[in-house]
Amino acid sequence: MTTWQRVDISDEKVDFNEDNQQPGSDGLSATPELLHGDFSLDAHHLANVQSQHKQVLVTAGMIPEEHIANVEPSLKLEWMVNELNGRINPDGLTIPLLGVEQNQIELYSRQINNSIVLKLKITEDDGDTLERELTAPEGVTIDNLTASLVNNRLNLRW
């Protein structure tokens, strides 16, 4: 076990080198807002954490602020498709539904404001259900929306 070593404190004046100062900070006279802003700029890992947190909230249906779905519908669509191990194509999306029969799958659509919302409902033999709502990209209409189940893959095209 190491013991404490005393550090001598000198009373000589030390010249402060401003080149070593952190960008944006003014030493002890910096405001908390400025320091927080500097920290946020250097904390690149926070963006990843915030994105994953949003994804968990959207997946669980606990969106704390409704504007996430309204402002970033493509992001919500991407999260849902990724959750279901699917793939977004330029003209639609594909979701693998291995082990699911066609009679267990229900797909609904409705128009909310100027966008199409799709509701995918999968009912298992024991009665458990999985429901997910997907907001279609801008420009998709109910008329140009088609769905097919080929090789246990749900293909949605628009």
φ, ψ for residue 35 (rounded to 5)?
Answer: -65, -40
Q: What total of structural domains would you count in the chain? A: 2
| Same domain assignment for residues 77 and 107 | yes
Question: Which range among 32-36, 64-68, 128-132 has the greatest average pLDDT?
Answer: 128-132
**What are the angstrom distances between the C-alpha of 140 and each of 18, 79, 80, 118?**
57, 19, 18, 11
| Same domain assignment for residues 86 and 59 | no
Range of the domain at 43: 30-64
**pLDDT, tens digit, 9 for 90 and up, residues 30-59:** 777 777 777 777 777 777 787 777 777 766
User: Nearest to residue 110, comparing CAs of 79, 141, 87, 82?
Assistant: 141
| Same domain assignment for residues 78 and 123 | yes
| Same domain assignment for residues 52 and 84 | no
| Same domain assignment for residues 94 and 147 | yes
Read off the pTM: 0.57
In-domain check, residue 1: no
| Same domain assignment for residues 57 and 113 | no
E strand or H helix at 122: strand 115-123
| Same domain assignment for residues 53 and 96 | no
In-domain check, residue 90: yes
d(CA 154, CA 96): 6
d(CA 143, CA 158): 9
**pLDDT, tens digit, 9 for 90 and up, residues 139-158:** 888 888 889 888 889 988 88
In-domain check, residue 46: yes
d(CA 128, CA 70): 29
**Structure confidence at residue 84 (pLDDT):** 84
d(CA 48, CA 23): 24
Helices (H), the chain: 32-42, 45-60, 67-71, 73-83
Q: Which pLDDT band, with edges at 50, 70 and 90, does 1 fall under?
A: very low
| Same domain assignment for residues 99 and 78 | yes
| Same domain assignment for residues 119 and 144 | yes
pLDDT score of 24 more than 70: no
In-domain check, residue 13: no
d(CA 87, CA 61): 21
